[in-house]
A and B are shown apart, each in its own frame.
Chain A
Amino acid sequence: MNSEFTKLLEIIISASLINNFVFTRFLGLCIFFGVSKKMETAVGMSITFTAVMMVSAALSWVVFTQILVPLDITFLEIIVFIGIIAGLVQVSDTIMRKVSPGLYYKLGIYLALISTNCIILAVPLINAGEKYSFIQSLAFGLGSGLGFGLALVIMASIREKLELADVPAPFKGLPMAFVITGLIALAFTGFSGLITL
């Protein structure tokens, strides 16, 4: 039980810091650069994202181990996972609109963006590849969501200051954001020896 718990902790730390999706796996960059201009949107996106990520990790684990593996059709994983995610986003969109219009007003727009985010597809694919158990898949989803949220918040806080900085004309906007991300990524390589898996 105890070692199981440490393993979970390791997965969460590894997914959020050491193998941070944005800085070391380079996924979800479109969304990362798109919504990191303002702190408020960055926080909203992180919350929505982490929630959807965990549910989709759980759902795709069930489908993968209970349907795809017994039937020996694991090569269909991409098609099945993208279907699950698109369906999940659609369903949570509808439910949220009915149950809590206030929350929908705040976070609804991020839901629509999420289905085009590659991290959301990468998590089930990596879960399947690593043969994680159900709880471990959930932990991996949580860690990835936290890591993505952390990246967004760091970036948003820098970019808000950057608005006032005097950047050379060709570097204005996206190129500068890339250079900054590179520097943060360099800092994140410092986490690489944090724990040994």
Chain B
Amino acid sequence: MSSTSSTNLKDLILNGIVKENTIFKLALSLCPSIAVTNSLKNGIYMGIAVLFVQVMVNLTISLMRNIIHPKVRLPIFMLVISGWVTVTQLMMAAFVPDVYAKVGLYIALIVAFASILARAEMFASKNSIIPSMADGLGMGIGFLFALTTISFFRELVGKGSLTVPTGLSTQHVFTFINTKPLLIMILPAGGFLAVGILMALFNWINARYAAKSAHASH
């Protein structure tokens, strides 16, 4: 990660989405992946909030990297993160109050995300602005992708139908199960089950892929 000047920006972004996907690969910042994913709308807004915070934190830390004394870097990182989280919180309370009423607590808790602090520490504090933002963008999109997948799956099976956010309102898209949806999937317990099953699915696909490429190379 030290030879950054030559590193491809695309690789940086892809790294966060696939190789180091926060939820499915690193199993970090799991709380919101279950708490807010009972509907697609909440999942997407939460993902966007994290994406925004991650990019802005990386940008800020990268700008300040030469003037932060290494001994006090962690408290300063925390201050920067909580500052941006407060900005996000106030913006969401103003623009999407109905979503904020449901996910507000979890927005505030973005502060305690290990993944955001880790990226600031491992990447943004050592790299210049553009790669740092690309890295933040990749990690953020990876997170958004994971939340969207989980909430898509849960809403589809749990409610039997799907609604997507269009602008500030939501629109009903289609009905999947007409009679009796599996209510458990939108209940708290279903969140754990959904993440467990999706993680297993990712593992399975990875194992298949690895086996295939190993087979091909022989």
A interface, CB within 8 angstroms of B: 23-30, 33, 75-76, 78-79, 82-83, 86, 116-118, 120-122, 125-126, 129, 168-172, 174-179, 181-183, 185-186, 189
Q: Which residues of B contact A79 (CB under 8 A)?
A: 79, 82-83, 86
B193 touches A182 (CB 8 A): yes
A178 touches B195 (CB 8 A): yes
Q: Which residues of B contact A24 (CB under 8 A)?
A: 188
Cβ of B191 within 8 Å of any chain A Cβ, yes or no, is yes
Q: Report the nearest A residue to B34, measured CB to CB.
A: A26
A82 touches B82 (CB 8 A): yes
How close is B171's CB to chain A, nearest CB, in angstroms? 28
A118 touches B192 (CB 8 A): no
A33-B27 contact, Cβ under 8 Å, with A78-B108, A125-B105, A178-B196 = yes
CA distance A169 to B206 in the complex (A): 12
Q: Which residues of A contact B184 (CB under 8 A)?
A: 186
CA distance A121 to B108 in the complex (A): 9
Cβ of B190 within 8 Å of any chain A Cβ, yes or no, is yes
A–B pairs, 30, beta carbons within 8 Å? A24-B188, A26-B30, A26-B191, A28-B31, A29-B31, A30-B30, A33-B27, A75-B86, A78-B82, A78-B85, A86-B75, A86-B78, A116-B112, A121-B108, A121-B109, A122-B105, A129-B105, A169-B203, A169-B204, A169-B207, A172-B203, A174-B27, A175-B199, A175-B200, A176-B196, A178-B196, A178-B199, A182-B193, A186-B184, A189-B187
Query: Would you call the interface of chain B mostly helix, strand, loop, or mixed?
Result: helix
- Those of B109-140 within 8 Å (CB) of chain A: 109, 111-114, 117
Q: Which residues of B contact A83 (CB under 8 A)?
A: 75, 78-79
Q: Which residues of B contact A179 (CB under 8 A)?
A: 192-193, 196-197
Given contacts A25-B35, A78-B82, A169-B207, 11 further A-B contacts (CB under 8 A): A26-B188, A33-B30, A76-B86, A79-B86, A82-B78, A121-B112, A122-B105, A175-B196, A179-B196, A182-B192, A189-B189
B197 touches A29 (CB 8 A): no
Query: Would you call the interface of chain A mostly helix, strand, loop, or mixed?
Result: helix
CA distance A129 to B100 in the complex (A): 14
A178-B193 contact, Cβ under 8 Å, with A30-B114, A170-B207 = yes
Q: Report the nearest B residue to A169, measured CB to CB.
A: B207
How close is B24's CB to chain A, nearest CB, in angstroms? 10
CA distance A177 to B105 in the complex (A): 25
Q: Report the nearest A residue to B112, measured CB to CB.
A: A118
A170-B31 contact, Cβ under 8 Å, with A27-B109, A82-B78, A183-B189 = no
B35 touches A117 (CB 8 A): no
CA distance A125 to B200 in the complex (A): 34
- Those of B16-36 within 8 Å (CB) of chain A: 27-32, 34-35
Considering residues A29, A33, A118, which has the most beta carbons from chain B within 10 angstroms of its beta carbon? A118
> B143-182 toward A: CB 8 Å interface, digit per residue (1/0)?
0000000000000000000000000000000000000000
